Structure 1
Amino acid sequence: MSTYAVTGASSGMGRAVAAKLASAGHTVIDVDIVDATVTADLSTPAGRDRAAAAVLELSGGRLDGAVMAAGLGPAPGRDRPRLIGEVNYFGVVDLLDAWRPALAEADRAKVVVFASNSSTTVPMVPGRAVRAFLDGDLDRVLGTLRIFGKQAPTFAYAASKIAISRWVRRTAVTPEWAGAGIRLNAIAPGAVLTPLLEKQLATPAEARQIKRFPVPIGGFGDAEQLADWVVFMLSDSADFLCGSVVFVDGGSDAWFRADDWPRPVPARRLRGYLNRMRAFRR
């Protein structure tokens, strides 16, 4: 049996994943702000340090995988954009950076990061905010988003999910990750019926907006089904899955950008592409 760390394990999809792994006989080190083996506030650097250290201690320095399901949605509030950035981006990157040696100790470790289809369905997300996330500069992210006023949490959420998806893609294929036998991928859910979505549906204005959003198959996703996808992405069957962002969203991403993906490498990037190929082969 394997040992997995699961963040955001006290509710929603994280809880469903943790339950399925535990029922299969695996050891689950659950991390959340309440009701968890490791209680830590991932919205602060100190909380992230605590979570990282506690998991390493409990795992004995060896992890077979991790599921990064902790996240905050775009609720109102002046400080919400900062909290979203701290949890949704740095709450993933900082912990995985700390856990990478423990993951490398395992044989064919798997990591699944929760992204979102907001990364491709929210328009007008500033590229500067995404780049600032990837540069590790949250203050610059917040400065970029200030022009959006009350809508800033929505754009902070989308920017955080775009940035973490790109971080996964960039990081997964490096010698430190793929070369060390670690498979790093992301899952991008759409509207899944979790306590967070139920709370939004209880607000008439938010409910109307959510129900207008195009979901070709109709309805909402199920947390248990999403957990099944994650369990598969942690399995030996996913050994050849690396750097992928898997959309499980009822068709919304395809509805918005049916012709945008896949696309070939642009000719203007050919030189860089060939240089990377040569470096990889060496």
Structure 2
Amino acid sequence: MGTYAVTGAASGMGAAVAARLADDGHTVIGVDIKAADVTADLSTPGGRTTAAREVLDRAGGVLDGAVLAAGLGPAPGRDRSRLIAEVNYLGVVELLDAWRPALAAAGSGRAKVVVFSSNSTTTVPMVPRRAVRALLDRDVPRALRTLDRFGRMAPTFAYGASKIAVSQWVRREAVTRAWAGAGIRLNAIAPGAIRTPLLEQQLATPEEAERIRSFPVPIGGFGDPGQLAAWVVFMLSDAADFLCGSVVFVDGGSDAWFRADDWPRAVPAVRLRRYLNRMKEFRAQR
């Protein structure tokens, strides 16, 4: 049995994951803004520092895995874009930076990390690249300056940017010596519309409900948190030892609906030099 940290453990998909791991006999250290083993506000630097430190204290410096499920969705409010950027991006990367040594201490190939992304990464159009780049640079004020010009749509684009940025961070970091080289498997899961408290709140508003129900989900309906929890537990298991840097879409087919021909694709000639350079980098590291 292992020790796992789960953020967003008090509700929704995070709660489902925490319950599933606990039922399987693992030790779960839940992190949330309330009703958790570690209570911390991930929208603040102090809250993130507290969460990182207290989890390590409770785990005794060794983690077998982590699930970063805490997140905020689009909603009205002047400060919403900032909260989304802080929680959805910095609330993932800063905690994983702090926990990486404890994950490496679990032993080569044993530690697994699952980050919650979203199918909004590929289904929300016009997400500004500048905002994504700013988040990857961990420069939230710069990201917000880009997003502010979108007015009331800013939180929607902030959400998309935060999930694109965190997915790209996972892809970049997963294959490095610090992660793959240390025996840690880092991957992301990209859910679609899942019946969480956030979705139920949106469905309670007629305008929002109409928009959500008209969104393409080829198999129909909404996902269940328990289904996502089963996927996450699989991604934390020994069966996922060869899974590295993947973003797994569990969204009823929405991503495939929008970009059936976009992925996978062959390396285009204009990127051949970059491809060959990456090959050289890999050989040099061996």
TM-score, normalisation: structure 2: 0.98
CA distance in 1, matches of 2:85, 2:270: 33
- Could you say which residue in structure 1 is the equivalent of 2:222? 220
Q: Amino acid of the residue matched to residue 88 of structure 1? A: N
What do the CA deviations read for 1:70-103 (whole angstroms, capped 9, x no partner)?
A: 0000011000000000000000000000000000
Tell me what 1:53 maps to: 53
Q: Secondary structure at the match of 2:76?
A: coil
Residue type of the partner of 1:246? V
Report the CA distance between 1:281 and its aligned residue. 1.8
Aligned equivalent of 1:188: 190
User: 2: distance between equivalents of 1:249 and 1:267?
Assistant: 32
Q: 1:256 aligns with which of 255, 258, 263?
A: 258
Q: Which runs of 5+ in 2 are unaligned?
A: none
Could you tell me which amino acid in structure 2 is paired with residue 150 of structure 1?
Answer: R
User: Which residue does the alignment assign to 1:35?
Assistant: 35
**What residue number does 2:14 align with?**
14
Does 1:273 pair with 2:275?
yes
- What amino acid is aligned across from residue 40 of structure 1 in structure 2? A
Aligned to 2:233: 231
Other-structure match for 2:142: 140
Secondary structure at 1:91's aligned position in 2?
A: helix
* Equivalent residue in structure 2 for 1:150, among 141, 149, 152: 152
2-structure distance, mates of 1:216, 1:271: 38
Hey, what's the Cα distance between the residues in 2 that align with 1:135 and 1:207? Answer: 35
1:197-224 deviation digits (Å, cap 9, x = unpaired): 0000001111011011000000000000
Give distance in 1, aligned partners of 2:149 and 2:35: 37
How far, CA to CA, are the matches of 2:209 and 2:48 in structure 1?
33
Q: What aligned pairs does 1:158-173 form with structure 2 within 5 A after superposition?
A: 158-173=160-175
Structure 2: how far apart are the matches of 1:4 and 1:69? Answer: 13
Q: Secondary structure at the match of 2:113?
A: strand
Provide the residue aligned with 1:71 in structure 2. Answer: 71
* Unaligned 5+ runs, structure 1: none
More displaced stretch, 271-280 vs 49-58:
271-280
Structure 1 segments (4+ residues) deviating >3 Å: none
2:153 counterpart letter in structure 1: Q
**Residue 277 of structure 1: how far off its partner (Å):** 1.2
**Aligned AA for 1:279?**
E
Q: What residue is the counterpart of 1:211 in the other structure?
A: 213
Summarize deviations over 1:40-79 as a string: whole Å, max 9, x none: 0000000000000000111011000000000000011000
CA distance in 2: counterparts of 1:116 and 1:131, whole angstroms = 18
Aligned length: 282
Q: How far did residue 122 of structure 1 move? A: 0.3
**Partner SS, residue 188 of structure 1:** strand
Q: Distance in 1 between matches of 2:34 and 2:267?
A: 45
1:266 Cα deviation (Å)? Answer: 2.1
Instruction: Give the TM-score normalised by structure 1.
Output: 0.99
Find the residue that maps to 1:113 and give its secondary structure: strand
CA distance in 2, matches of 1:163, 1:155: 12
Question: CA–CA distance in 2 between the matches of 1:135 and 1:270?
Answer: 26
Q: Give CA deviations for 1:106-147 in whole Å, capped at 9, x if unaligned.
A: 122000000000000000111111111111110111000111
Task: Tell me the distance in 1 between the aligned counterparts of 2:272 and 2:121.
Answer: 26
Deviation at 1:272, TM superposition (A): 2.0
Q: Which amino acid aligns with 2:42?
A: L
Secondary structure at the residue paired with 2:30? strand
CA–CA distance in structure 2, aligned partners of residues 180 and 158 of structure 1: 30
Which residue pairs with 1:200 in the alignment? 202
The amino acid that maps onto 1:245 is V
Partner of 1:178: 180
